[in-house]
């Protein structure tokens, strides 16, 4: 096994007992990046100089006895989280040359742990997409099959972890952007409860839905990263002043007494048979581990979630992306006579097709005469979806579904059909609408292509879903398989 494919907890043990230095580990990660990056294109920026400096500093910390579980461990950060002095592009031409003057709260928290950042991860432009094909720079390739997409929008983060370029990654999830690529790349990806992790310094897409979370090789690692990034932050007024437990304490393997519901609407029309079969088998495993499974739960408003999401998220995006005016930062088209023309041309040439499509859709849904019929209607449907989840959680501790209706699709297959692309998020986006925590874990393969299982919890019950996911990983070894590249 390569050093850069160690888990966080394995690497930590070796660092702590001085069998391995952070510099050695970081060099292994950078060497792996040199090997596989030309094939997978997971990174927008490789920060090798910074990484080696951070690794030396980590080794000094470790030598002085100052070590915590993330100290000295190489990782990557999705390129929509601000890193002071290091370009943060959102994989957009609009921010190609943007260098943030400050760090996102999550970056600050990780830096305080003495981490090593080896790069910034490629993504769908402004996190809008499900395949990483909407990156303005280059698409990322799935390490399990280079002709296929890694999912999106945190496709670079998921690929970097799956391909062993980094030991873990941070992603962001607005409608499935951590969980769907985690499923497609066979890694573990957690979207925490809305408000659990500070969004300060995360470039805004849809502010009522966005949430930052970890992509890791197993659930134990996921708990370690969540421990480091969770918690109230006065700079994000939507971060919630709830206590954050030590998430490693819930990682037991006994599921006795846990009640798990299977919402039948998530086994949608058009779902690949292999996916449904694998997920039913995985749920059977949870039953063997002691969980009480109810197979026929109904969440009848599920079929409306996709439409509600794709009205609400673009509406919020159209407002958030109004800030890109070519004046304060970012791409600026100068060759015009007046301000209005400069503004329109800056946005015409700075944004890619999917971003333009969503700005248009959102602007339409918010415009005079259409606001009530589209935006307000979608917000009311949002209420019904949330109420339905609240009701289900009076009977169940968690709900389990497939992460995505299909295995990874071919690059180019859905790029000209936005609606087909949107359907890739059909199982993940209701969870953002309701603000719930959800985790995707590896649950099998079909013809060598990964299948992910999603576990959904009630608000602030990350411990419950981590526990179920951990118990499953202790009984299976899907998460230990690595792509052969």
Partner 1 sequence: MKLSREEVLHIALLARLGLTDAEVDKLREQLSNILENFEILQQVDTSGIPPTAQSIPLQNVVKDDEVTPSLPSNEILANAPRKDGEYFRVKAVLE
**Which residue, among 330, 108, 106, has the nearest Cα to 225 in the 3D structure?**
106
Query: What does the per-residue mask of binding to partner 1 show for 301-340, with x meaning CB under 8 A?
Result: x-xx--xx-xx------x---x--xxxxxxxx-x-xxxxx
CB-based contacts of 323, cutoff 8 Å, min separation 6:
none
Q: Does 243 bind partner 1 (CB under 8 A)?
A: no
Minimum CB separation of residue 399 from partner 1 in Å reads 16
Residue 2 vs 327, nearer CB to partner 1: 327
Exposed e or buried b per residue across 118-141, where buried means at least 16 C-beta atoms within 10 angstroms of its C-beta:
bbbbbbbbbbbbbbbbbbbbebbb
Minimum CB separation of residue 349 from partner 1 in Å reads 8
- Residue 278: its H or E element: helix 273-288
Minimum CB separation of residue 431 from partner 1 in Å reads 10
21 is catalytic: no
Residue 167 vs 439, nearer CB to partner 1: 439
Instruction: Establish how many alpha carbons lie within 13 A of residue 213's alpha carbon, considering only the half-sphere containing its beta carbon.
Output: 37
Query: What does the per-residue mask of binding to partner 1 show for 201-240, with x meaning CB under 8 A?
Result: -------x-------------------------x--xx-x
Of residues 2 through 61, those in contact with partner 1 by CB under 8 A are none
Residues touching partner 1, count (CB under 8 A): 70
Exposed e or buried b per residue across 302-340, where buried means at least 16 C-beta atoms within 10 angstroms of its C-beta:
bebbbebbbbbbbbbbbbbbeebebeebbbbbeeeeeee
**Rounded distance, CA 22 to CA 51, Å?**
10
Active-site residue, from 172, 177, 239, 318: 177
Active-site residue, from 153, 172, 424, 461: 153
78 is catalytic: yes
Q: Does 253 bind partner 1 (CB under 8 A)?
A: no
Phi, psi of 230, rounded to the nearest 5 degrees: -75, 160
CB-based contact 170:160 (threshold 8 Å):
no
Other CB atoms closer than 10 Å to residue 485's CB: what's the count?
16
Of residues 393 through 412, those in contact with partner 1 by CB under 8 A are none
Residue 364 vs 445, nearer CB to partner 1: 364
**Which residue, among 459, 469, 461, 429, has the nearest Cα to 194 in the 3D structure?**
459
Applying CB under 8 A, among 459, 463, 470, 473 the residue interacting with partner 1 is: 459
Query: What does the per-residue mask of binding to partner 1 show for 338-377, with x meaning CB under 8 A?
Result: xxxxxxxx-xxx-x----xx-xxx-xx--x-----xx-xx
Q: Does 420 bind partner 1 (CB under 8 A)?
A: no
Minimum CB separation of residue 283 from partner 1 in Å reads 26
Q: Does 391 bind partner 1 (CB under 8 A)?
A: no
**Rounded distance, CA 26 to CA 50, Å?**
11
Quickly tell me which residue has 């791409």 as its tokens: 331
Of residues 110 through 129, those in contact with partner 1 by CB under 8 A are none
Applying CB under 8 A, among 160, 219, 299, 434 the residue interacting with partner 1 is: 434
Which range of residues in 13-21, 114-122, 262-270, 378-386 is near partner 1 by CB under 8 A?
378-386
Residue 16 vs 357, nearer CB to partner 1: 357
Please tell me the total number of residues recorded for the chain in this structure: 485
CB-based contact 457:179 (threshold 8 Å):
no
Write the DSSP assignment of 162-186 as a string of letters. HTTSSSEEEEEESSSTTHHHHHHHT
Of residues 165 through 194, those in contact with partner 1 by CB under 8 A are 194
Instruction: Establish how many alpha carbons lie within 13 A of residue 267's alpha carbon, considering only the half-sphere containing its beta carbon.
Output: 17
Minimum CB separation of residue 326 from partner 1 in Å reads 6
Minimum CB separation of residue 97 from partner 1 in Å reads 8
Residue 38 vs 328, nearer CB to partner 1: 328
**Rounded distance, CA 17 to CA 430, Å?**
44
Q: Does 386 bind partner 1 (CB under 8 A)?
A: yes
* Cα–Cα distances in angstroms (integers) from residue 322 to residues 172, 318, 328, 332, 343, in the given order: 21, 6, 12, 14, 10
Applying CB under 8 A, among 244, 272, 379, 474 the residue interacting with partner 1 is: 379
Which range of residues in 177-185, 216-224, 300-308, 461-469 is near partner 1 by CB under 8 A?
300-308
Phi, psi of 424, rounded to the nearest 5 degrees: -65, -20
Residue 70 vs 439, nearer CB to partner 1: 439
Task: List strand residue ranges (DSSP E) for 187-310, in order.
Answer: 188-191, 211-216, 259-263, 292-297
CB-based contacts of 338, cutoff 8 Å, min separation 6:
none
Query: What does the per-residue mask of binding to partner 1 show for 93-112, with x meaning CB under 8 A?
Result: ----xxx-xx----------
Exposed e or buried b per residue across 173-205, where buried means at least 16 C-beta atoms within 10 angstroms of its C-beta:
bbbbbbbbbbbbbbbbbbbbbbbbbbbbbbbbb
Q: Which residues are catalytic?
A: 78, 153, 177
Residues in contact with partner 1 by the rule CB under 8 A: 97-99, 101-102, 194-195, 208, 234, 237-238, 240, 301, 303-304, 307-308, 310-311, 318, 322, 325-332, 334, 336-345, 347-349, 351, 356-357, 359-361, 363-364, 367, 373-374, 376-384, 386, 418-419, 433-435, 459
């Amino acid at each position: 096994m390569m050093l850069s494919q160690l888990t966080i907890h394995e690497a930590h043990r070796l660092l702590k007992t001085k069998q391995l230095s952070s510099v050695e580990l970081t060099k292994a990660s950078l060497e792996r990046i040199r090997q596989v990056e030309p094939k997978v294109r997971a990174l927008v920026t490789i920060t090798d100089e910074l990484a080696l400096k951070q690794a030396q500093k980590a080794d000094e910390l470790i030598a002085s006895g100052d070590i915590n579980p993330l100290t000295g461990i190489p990782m990557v950060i999705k390129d929509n989280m601000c890193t002071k002095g290091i370009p943060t592009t959102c994989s957009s031409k609009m921010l190609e040359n943007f260098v943030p003057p400050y760090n996102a709260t999550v970056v600050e928290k990780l830096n305080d742990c003495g981490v090593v950042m080896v790069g910034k991860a490629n993504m769908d432009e402004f996190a809008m997409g499900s395949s990483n094909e909407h990156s303005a720079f280059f698409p990322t390739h799935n390490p399990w099959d280079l002709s296929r997409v890694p999912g999106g929008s945190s496709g670079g983060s998921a690929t970097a972890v799956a391909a062993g370029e980094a030991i873990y990654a941070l992603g962001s999830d607005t409608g499935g952007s951590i969980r769907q690529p985690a499923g497609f790349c066979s890694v573990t990806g957690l979207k925490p409860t809305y408000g659990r992790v500070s969004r300060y310094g995360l470039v805004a897409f849809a502010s009522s839905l966005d949430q930052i979370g970890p992509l890791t090789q197993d659930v134990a690692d996921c708990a370690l990263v969540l421990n480091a990034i969770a918690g109230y932050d006065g700079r994000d007024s939507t971060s919630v002043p709830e206590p954050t437990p030590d998430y490693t304490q819930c990682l037991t393997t006994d599921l006795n007494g846990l009640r798990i519901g299977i919402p039948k609407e998530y086994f949608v029309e058009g779902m690949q048979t292999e996916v449904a079969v694998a997920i039913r088998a995985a749920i059977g495993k949870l039953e063997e581990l002691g969980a009480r499974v109810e197979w026929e739960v109904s969440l009848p408003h599920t079929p409306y979630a996709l439409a509600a999401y794709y009205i609400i998220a673009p509406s919020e995006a159209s407002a958030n992306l109004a800030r890109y005016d070519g004046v304060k930062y970012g791409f600026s088209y100068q060759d015009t006579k007046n301000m209005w023309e400069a503004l329109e041309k800056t946005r015409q040439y700075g944004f890619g097709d999917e971003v333009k499509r969503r700005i248009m859709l959102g602007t339409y849904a918010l415009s005079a005469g259409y606001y009530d019929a589209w935006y307000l209607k979608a917000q009311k449907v949002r209420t019904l979806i949330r109420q339905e989840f609240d009701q289900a959680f009076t009977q169940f501790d968690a709900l389990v579904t497939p992460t995505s209706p299909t295995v990874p699709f071919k690059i180019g297959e859905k790029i000209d059909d936005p609606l087909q692309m949107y359907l890739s998020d059909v199982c993940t986006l209701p969870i953002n609408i309701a603000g719930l925590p959800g985790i995707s874990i590896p649950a099998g393969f079909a013809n060598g292509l990964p299948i992910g299982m999603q576990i959904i919890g009630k608000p602030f019950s990350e411990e419950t879903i981590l526990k179920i996911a951990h118990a499953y990983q202790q009984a299976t070894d899907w998460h230990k398989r690595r792509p052969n590249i």
